[in-house]
Every structure is written in structure tokens, then in C-alpha cells.
């Protein structure tokens, strides 16, 4: 009884001990904040990676892909059993994206994926990362009138409106150019016939000079390489009312992110929904040829993972199969390059993967079978390692705080020597006296880590406001949206983490009070009473 009374009283009167516990408080608060932010980040990342990659992915390395995906799926269903809850097939092919921007071609290397929007959403998150609100619920490869990304003013006009404006503008310029040419021709005719010849000579000389300078920056694809040239198609499409096959571009493939003069983050789009882009990719035939196909951008894809946003472009599966010649002309059976599987929650992905690998051994099939964790293994393990090391370091901080408590407690024990003598004279046992200081350590640990818990949770709760405040004072952006694709700092508080951080901190405080408590217990009562 007296031990609790006394240690409560010591807590109320010994502020120096509270000072020593501040480091525990700070350590606990930091641990909670760091763990929450780290788990927020990694959960967000897991979610995105997992959402994008589906559970298990079977990729075929052959350019022609694997024929008859239905037969494959039946076989996979047999292997997976009831664990298989969804599947989707797609064609993935390396491609070059060409964007016509102010008369110049911008080339980007992309991963062109042909997918079936309905089944693809079963295995991974696709629709929810599209910009148009209606595409988020049911993705479509038809250009929409307007309403892309209501919160982005750069895309306010995107859609048919942008397309019509652009075409009108192009036609106006064409008309102007034609008028000018006509005027020039008329002028030349008026000036007399003899100058015609010198003009032609000058043009020829300019062309020769250009050739001597080396390759120009304009597109210079040799026509033999390009099969199925889409020029006829171009002529057949009226851009005012019609569109080319739809394509959804990863947002970073057609935009750059920068800061404007006022320091605001701004995106500049080379192409936006409504624009036409060119895709150049190999066909599936044994003798590879390059296909040059025009597409109309119908939406943009923003997952927040820069790796995906800067390399992906999506088109309709059947169209891509047609373009690439992946349809058997005799049987009409289509080929795919990738099968993605969605498995029931809690399924052992590695076991399924191994079973599939056993069925499709790499010696016989050019397949690569991976779980989403395998795909992102190095990244995930790096984050895990980082979290572990941070936890160890922060716990060392609390351990250092433990030595502070140890020193303070020794001081308090020395200061309380006479009281210890008195207590022993009143019949208190050594264990009783030592338990005063152990309880005191426990109480201090509790108070310190409790304060740290509250502080840490408050910090986590207001972390975005704190980041903004810091930004205001320092002018330095804490959470740079040009680097991270989150607008807010993601945090997740795991109750289990709180419990073990609290327990750890309290244990350290109690351990630090063991030595001083033992000293107090061993004190000789007579010497303690005489202590001045």
C-alpha cells in the first residue's frame, strides 16, 4: 500500500524524474509516428502494387504469345480449384509512343497492353485509376464528351470538345497556309516566268544542305518497315466526329510535372483525351514487322506508382490482337501473352505459383509465372528492412533514455536514503522498499509512454496539417508531390504496434529502475538513518 502512495507522491514532487522520462515520451511518440507513416506508405504501396499486378501472373515470353487461352484457363482452374475467383487475359507488347506536339514528334518507350476492360477489373484495379468519373466505374475506349478530372484545370476541355477545337484550329491554319501559298504563287506568276527556275534551284540546294547536316529531328521511318500503314485509315476518319481506336495512356507518358513560378505543382500535358497519338509496335508474325497505328487518347491512367504511370498504355484486347495478327486465320483462335489470376483472400500464393510452375515447367513453356510479391520483391523487402532498422534505432533511443532514468533514480535513492531508513525502521522489508522504486519506474514508464502515445497519435492525426505548417514556416515542402504521388501523407495506426511500443518503453523504464531499487533494498537501516 505504502509503496503506491509513496511512488505517486514521488511522481508528483520529483520533476527531475519527469524530465528524465521526456526522452521516453519522445522516443515512443517518434516510434508511433514513424511506424504509422511507414505502414501507411507500405500499405498504400502494397495496395497499389497488388491492385495493379493481380495475384498471380503468367507471362509468355514468345512474341506470338500463347495460343488458346481458354484451354489454359481450364487447366489453371483445374489446378487452383475453388481458390480461383477471377481471371483475365491480356496482350502485352513493348511499343513506342509518338505524340505530335507542335509539329514535333515526342517518342516514349511504353508497354502497350491490350486488355478486356470487364474482366481486367476482376483481377486488378484498373478502372479506379482512370481520370473520367464514368470510366472509373465502367472503363470504355470511347472518347467522352467532357468531364475528365474535374479537379485539373489543364484537362478542363479534354474530350470531344478539345478534339473539335483542335481540329478546327488545325483546319483554320491549313486554310491560312493554303491561302498564303496561293497568294505566293499568284505573286510569282505576276513577277514573271523566269524566276520559277531559280526558285526550284534554290529549293534543291536547301534539301542537299539538309541532307549533309545529317538526320533531321522529324520522323524518318523507312516505309518498308511499316506494314499496314494507316494512311488510308487516316483519310477515312473524320476527326470532327470520329475517333481512332481508343487508347488509355499512363499519365506520365504524356505529361511532365514541374513547379511554376509561384512554387505550385503543375502538370503539362503533351497529349490529352481527344488528341491522336501514334503507336509503333511489332507484330506477332515469325518475321517481325513494325506496325504503325494511330490511336485516339480516350482517358489517362494515374495509379500513383510512377513506374506504371510512365510506362503503361492500354488498348482494347481484340483490337491489339487484330493489329498484331494474333488471330489464327483458319480457326479464329486468338492468342494472348499474359494471364492474370485473382485468387480467394488468404490463399497461399506461393503454393499456387509452384503448382502452376509444375504444370507449365520452364523447360517446355516460355512462361514466367510470378506472384505479385515476386514482381515487387526487392522493393517490398527494402521497405521491410527500412522499417526494421528504424524501429531498432528508435528503440535504442529509448534504451538511452533508460540510462537517464537509471541515473536519475540513483540520485533519488540517495536523496531518499533517510526515508528508506525510516521505512525499514517502521518494519518495511527490503523487497517492499525496492518495490517502491520499481513501481515508481513502472509508473514513470507508464506516464512517459502514455504521454508519448497521446502525442504520437495526435501527431499522426494532424500530420498533414503539421506538414503544411512546417511548409509555411520553412518554405521547404515536407512532402513533395513531384516526388511522391500521394497528395496526403498516408498513415495507418496498428493497435498491435502501439501495444508493443508501450510495453517496450515501460519494460525499459522498469529495467532501468531495477539497479537503484536493489541498492535501496540493500541499504543498511542504521547507516541510512544516520545519512546526512
Interacting residues with another protein (CB under 8 A)? 1-2, 4-6, 9-10, 13, 418-419, 421-430, 432, 524-526, 529
Instruction: Give the nearer residue to another protein in terms of CB position, either 3 or 48.
Output: 3
Minimum distance of another protein from residue 2's CB (angstroms): 4
CA–CA dist 345, 100 (Å, integer): 45
Minimum distance of another protein from residue 514's CB (angstroms): 20
Instruction: Give the nearer residue to another protein in terms of CB position, either 426 or 483.
Output: 426
The SS3 of residue 62 is coil
CA–CA dist 384, 91 (Å, integer): 33
Minimum distance of another protein from residue 5's CB (angstroms): 7
Minimum distance of another protein from residue 442's CB (angstroms): 15
CA–CA dist 115, 321 (Å, integer): 10
Q: Residue 270 has what DSSP assignment?
A: S
Q: Retrieve residue 55's grid coordinates.
A: 495475384
Minimum distance of another protein from residue 448's CB (angstroms): 20
Instruction: Give the nearer residue to another protein in terms of CB position, either 18 or 156.
Output: 18
Instruction: Give the nearer residue to another protein in terms of CB position, either 61 or 431.
Output: 431
Helix (H) / strand (E) element for 329: namely none
Q: Tell how far CA 517 is from the center of its chain.
A: 52
**By the 8 A CB rule, do 515 and 408 touch?**
no
Minimum distance of another protein from residue 516's CB (angstroms): 17
**By the 8 A CB rule, do 312 and 253 touch?**
yes
Distances (CA, A) of 229 to 64, 99, 235: 21, 17, 12
DSSP H helices, 54-159, are: 69-80, 117-123, 133-137
Helix (H) / strand (E) element for 490: namely none
Instruction: Give the nearer residue to another protein in terms of CB position, either 407 or 425.
Output: 425
Minimum distance of another protein from residue 468's CB (angstroms): 46
Instruction: Give the nearer residue to another protein in terms of CB position, either 281 or 440.
Output: 440
Least Cα distance to 150 among 130, 133, 168 occurs for 133
Amino acid at each position: 500500500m505504502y509503496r503506491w502512495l509513496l511512488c505517486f507522491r514521488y511522481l508528483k514532487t520529483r520533476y527531475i524524474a519527469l524530465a528524465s522520462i521526456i526522452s521516453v515520451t519522445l522516443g515512443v511518440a517518434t516510434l508511433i509516428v514513424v511506424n504509422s507513416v511507414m505502414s501507411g506508405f507500405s500499405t498504400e504501396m502494397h495496395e497499389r502494387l497488388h491492385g495493379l499486378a493481380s495475384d498471380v501472373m503468367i507471362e509468355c515470353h514468345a512474341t506470338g504469345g500463347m495460343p488458346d487461352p481458354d484451354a489454359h484457363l481450364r487447366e489453371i482452374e483445374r489446378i487452383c480449384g475453388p481458390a480461383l475467383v477471377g481471371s483475365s487475359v491480356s496482350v502485352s507488347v513493348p511499343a513506342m509512343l509518338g505524340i505530335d506536339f507542335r509539329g514535333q514528334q515526342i517518342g516514349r518507350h511504353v508497354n502497350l497492353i491490350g486488355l478486356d476492360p470487364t474482366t481486367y477489373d476482376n483481377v486488378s484495379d484498373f478502372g479506379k485509376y482512370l481520370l473520367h468519373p464514368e470510366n472509373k466505374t465502367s472503363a470504355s475506349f470511347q472518347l467522352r464528351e467532357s468531364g475528365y478530372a474535374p479537379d485539373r484545370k489543364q484537362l478542363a476541355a479534354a474530350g470531344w470538345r478539345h478534339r473539335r477545337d483542335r481540329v478546327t484550329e488545325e483546319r483554320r491554319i491549313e486554310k491560312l497556309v493554303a491561302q498564303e501559298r496561293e497568294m505566293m504563287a499568284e505573286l510569282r506568276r505576276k513577277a514573271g516566268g523566269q524566276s520559277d527556275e531559280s526558285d526550284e534551284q534554290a529549293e534543291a540546294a536547301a534539301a542537299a544542305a539538309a541532307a549533309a547536316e545529317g538526320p533531321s529531328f522529324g520522323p524518318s521511318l523507312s516505309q518498308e518497315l511499316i506494314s499496314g500503314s494507316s494512311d488510308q485509315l487516316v483519310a477515312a476518319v473524320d476527326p470532327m466526329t470520329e475517333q481512332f481506336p481508343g487508347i488509355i495512356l499512363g499519365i506520365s507518358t504524356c505529361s511532365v510535372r514541374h513547379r511554376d513560378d509561384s512554387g505550385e505543382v503543375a502538370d503539362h500535358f503533351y497529349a490529352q483525351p481527344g488528341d491522336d497519338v501514334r503507336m509503333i509496335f511489332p507484330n506477332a508474325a515469325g518475321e517481325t514487322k513494325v506496325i504503325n497505328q494511330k490511336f485516339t487518347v480516350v482517358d489517362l491512367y494515374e495509379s500513383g506508382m510512377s513506374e506504371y504511370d510512365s510506362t503503361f498504355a492500354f488498348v482494347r484486347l481484340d483490337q491489339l490482337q487484330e493489329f498484331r495478327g494474333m488471330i489464327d486465320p483458319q480457326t479464329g483462335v486468338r492468342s494472348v501473352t499474359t494471364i492474370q489470376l485473382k485468387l480467394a483472400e488468404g490463399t497461399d500464393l506461393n503454393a499456387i505459383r509452384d503448382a502452376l510452375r509444375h504444370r507449365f515447367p520452364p523447360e517446355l513453356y516460355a512462361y514466367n509465372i510470378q506472384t505479385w510479391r515476386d514482381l515487387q520483391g526487392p522493393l517490398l523487402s527494402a521497405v521491410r528492412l527500412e522499417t526494421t532498422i528504424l524501429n531498432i534505432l528508435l528503440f535504442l533511443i529509448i534504451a538511452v533514455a533508460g540510462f537517464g532514468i537509471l541515473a536519475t533514480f540513483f540520485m533519488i535513492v540517495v536523496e531518499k536514503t533517510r526515508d528508506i531508513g525510516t521505512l525499514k525502521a517502521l518494519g518495511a522489508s527490503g523487497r517492499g522498499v525496492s518495490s517502491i522504486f520499481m513501481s515508481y519506474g513502472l509508473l514513470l514508464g507508464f506516464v512517459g509512454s502514455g504521454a508519448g502515445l497521446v502525442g504520437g497519435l495526435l501527431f499522426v492525426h494532424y500530420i498533414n496539417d503539421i506538414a503544411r505548417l512546417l511548409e509555411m514556416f520553412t518554405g521547404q515542402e515536407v512532402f513533395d508531390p513531384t516526388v511522391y504521388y500521394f497528395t496526403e501523407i498516408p498513415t495507418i495506426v496498428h493497435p498491435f504496434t502501439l501495444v508493443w511500443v508501450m510495453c517496450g518503453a515501460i519494460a525499459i523504464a522498469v529495467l532501468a529502475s531495477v539497479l537503484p531499487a536493489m541498492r535501496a533494498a540493500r541499504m543498511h537501516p542504521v547507516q541510512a538513518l544516520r545519512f546526512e
